[in-house]
Each structure stands twice: as structure tokens, then as C-alpha cells.
Structure 1
């Protein structure tokens, strides 16, 4: 009987695919790494290599309002708007996820209507909202027209994520709570929401980051007060300096900070649940 020798040698296709994946990551994150490095350019440096010294002077420039852009104020507006958008997205997505657990007349049409904005060009969505406000004689502003425009972008993703989370929810837990005498509010507060909370945090993080850097849907609906992406565009159209790279580094850091906080909260929740299960056993 002949035996086939088993070796640990990997086929050449493994190395080819690994190389291809590495090149893809370099193509995807290479420009970002360049921006991060050039943001620490020296005071006499420009926006290209080689670097002329090393400093943090361009980060200090961010805090100084310029003639064309006021980054600190615009940053505060973007954070405030993203927080409101994230909160509304979570509330609506959770309500829709729980409501769509049962079929009702028109549920399919309502679902496709809710996600229809994803297939429309962003500029057209913003243009339609801005035109509607003008037709009604309403003044576009940060927390009216801009808020509605960004919800057309964040809500579909929130719905997709929450539907996926709710579909994995075991309703036997709610039935057990009902058998023990829990009311509908008690079931929602003590059973449903705590179990769905990791998914809810994910929806909140996704909506926050999508709103934080949204440009196309906001540009025609924001009114007289710009958000951070619009202020950055004003800087690009007026002048180019390493200040832009410093802004990119800071904004990316804020996004990663929000994601890290969300992940830490989820990990802490999972550890608490694991300890609770151990105690029960």
C-alpha cells in the first residue's frame, strides 16, 4: 500500500494570494499613512516628501481660526450633529427591528422605501431636501435639513445591522420573562435591550462615523453654518498646507477613539455576562 507523504509546505497559490492581499492593504492604507507622517512636517516643510524637520506646529494651526475655515467650531458642530444623528438612528433602528419581527400589511414596501435613499446619488438627495425646504419657505439649518439629509444615509445601514441582530434573537427569553410575570416594559428593559445592546452600540458607532464625515448630502442642506468636512473643502479650495494632513490625522484619531470606546464597552459587557453565567452554574 502506498502512502502519500504529508508535508507542511504551502502551495505557491497561498503566497500569491497573500502577496495580493498585502498589496491591496498597501493601496488602501498607504495614502493614509503618508498623510499621518506628513502631518508632523517641520515648520518650513510642504505637502510632499522629503520632510523638512519634525514638529507639531501644524496641529497648533488647527486651533487658530483662519480666513476661510474655522476648524474648532466646525469640529464641534460635526460632533454635535453626529451625536444627534447617532441617537436618532439607534432609536428608529431598534424600534424598526423589533417591529419588523412580525409581518404586517405593507411591511415589504415600507422596508424598501426606508432603504431607497441608498441607491440615489447623495447630491441628488441633498438637493431634493434643500429644494423642499426652499419651496416650503423654511430656513435650512444644522439640526433640521442637515439632520434629515444625514438620516437618509445612516438609517438604512442602521436598519440592516439591527435586522441582522434581531434575527438572531431567541424570543424564548421574552416568553420566559412573560411566564414569570414580567410586563412588556420590563421585558424590553431587562431582557430585550440588554441582549441586543452590543448590536445597538455597533449601530451607534456606525451612524456616528457616517455622519461625522458626510459631505455630499450636507453641502446643500447645512445652511450658513458649515460642518468639518465642508470647512476642510474650503481649505482645499483656498490653500494647501500640512495643516490639512494634521486635520486628517486628528479626525481619524477621533473616529478610531469612538470605535475603541465602543469595542471596550462591548468587551466589558461580554466579560460581565461570562462571570454571571459562571456564578449561575
Structure 2
């Protein structure tokens, strides 16, 4: 058996340190959220309990935690659905070259490199100039789309570039219309990618702070509410909130991965049944 070179152990140790750098703060928040009733914001811990999680469900002296959560959840769903629909439509449109397609593509993804706070400021100014009310469901929704749509477009462009058109040709040979081909052939095949785009849209919106800062209006989303709490909350209840929101994000991601896995199993089963039929 060949001995591993010293570089292997060095790189392994570096990778472990990198993981600690990524997830260490999250684990620290999670641990501190289980402090006892007399616990503070730093180590050492003063007892272990679920006190601060229970406290979250009591009326808070400051902030509107659950109202902010409902707004972030609703906004995330709005952004998710819009991102999926627009990304699919754009992916279908860009399958054929047309005049100005390259320029339009680069304009669509340029917002990824523009500082987020400038996007928020620009959207807020536009709404002010048009005499429209700044609100999380309008201006906040628009500013977040500048963040989620480019990711959705990049994913769908890659998916359709690899898409085998022979499936569509076979459907048309069987007499299927363009809509039937899209509904019964194209969309089922790219369904896992659609789930990925939906996941990107929801999670990026749910956690977004900078692009919502100047466009949320009088009602905070959850990231803005948590930021506001850091200035006036001096108990581990804020850590409990952070732990629950993190678990919620992991639950959403896990649900999407499970759905993709189930779809893959179903497709493999149908493929096996079709092969036996032949």
C-alpha cells in the first residue's frame, strides 16, 4: 500500500480549517442558543435549557419576529415562482439566436457584479420618483429579482444547451403540439433543474439583506429584523432565532433534495419498465 505524501495531510488539515471557518460561527450560535435563563451573549455558558427558544414564542419587548418571518416567507415564494417562470421562458427564447441576444444576456447578469446596496438605493429612488409607495412586496420584490433571476437564467441556459432535441422531435412525430411537447416532454425532463432554480430563488430571497435594506418600506423582512435586534437585544433569544432560521433553511434545502431524489427514482423505474416492455 502506497504511503500518502506529506502534502495530503497538509491539504486535509487546511480543508478541515476551511470547514471550521465556514460553519464554526453557525455552530457557535447554535450552542449559545441553548443557554440557561441567566445566560448571556458570550461563553462560558450558564446552564443548558430550551428557555430562549420558548421565549421566542412569547410577546417580545422589541421587534416583530413572526411578522417579519411571514413577510420573508411570502416574499421568498413570490421571488421563487417568478424566477422559475421567467428563467424557463428566457431559456426557451435563447435556444435560437436572435439579434441582440448576446447583449441582452450580458445585461441580464450584470446585476450580479453591481454592489447590492446600490441596487437597493436605485430601486428605492425609482419608486420615489414615480410616486409609488416603497413596500417589501413591490420595491423589495423587484430589487430581489435582480439577485435571483441571473442565477436562474444561468442555470436554465446551461440546461437547455445540453438538452437533447430528439425527444421533442419524437413527440412532434407522434402528433404532439408545441404546448403538449413542452408540458409532457420538456418540463418533466428538466424538472430537477427547475427545483434547483426554485431553491436558489427562495433561499437567496429569504436571506437577502442589502438589496432589501432601502426597499422594504415600513415593514422589515426577517434579515432586517434580526439586524435591528442586534442593536437592542442583549439575551440569547437572538441566537435562538438564528438557530431556528438556519434549521428552516436546511429543511427547505433538504425537502428539495428529497424531491429531486424521488423524481430520479421514479424516472429510473419508468425507464426500467419501458425497457422491459421492449
CA distance in 1 between partners of 2:58 and 2:125 (Å): 35
CA distance in 1 between partners of 2:6 and 2:159 (Å): 39
CA distance in 2 between partners of 1:15 and 1:178 (Å): 57
Q: Does 2:114 align with 1:120?
A: yes
CA-CA distance at 1:142 after TM superposition: 1.9
1:193-215 Cα distance to aligned partner (Å, 9 max, x none): 00000000000001100000111
Query: 1:93 touches 1:155 (CA, 8 Å); kept in 2?
Result: yes
CA-CA distance at 1:61 after TM superposition: 2.1
Matched pairs, number? 275
Aligned residue among 186, 206, 210 for 2:204: 210
CA-CA distance at 1:277 after TM superposition: 1.1
Quote the residue 1:227 is aligned against.
221
Q: What is the TM-score with the length of structure 2 in the denominator? A: 0.97
Q: Does 2:4 align with 1:10?
A: yes
Quote the residue 1:192 is aligned against.
186
CA distance in 1 between partners of 2:38 and 2:62 (Å): 22
Tell me how large the CA RMSD over aligned residues is: 1.0
Q: Does 2:161 align with 1:156?
A: no
Aligned residue among 58, 62, 71 for 1:64: 58
Quote the residue 1:270 is aligned against.
264
Query: 1:68 touches 1:234 (CA, 8 Å); kept in 2?
Result: no
CA distance in 1 between partners of 2:172 and 2:129 (Å): 50
* Structure 1: unaligned runs, 5 residues or longer: 1-6
Aligned residue among 243, 258, 261 for 2:255: 261
CA-CA distance at 1:94 after TM superposition: 0.8
1:219-259 Cα distance to aligned partner (Å, 9 max, x none): 10111111101111111111332111111111111111111
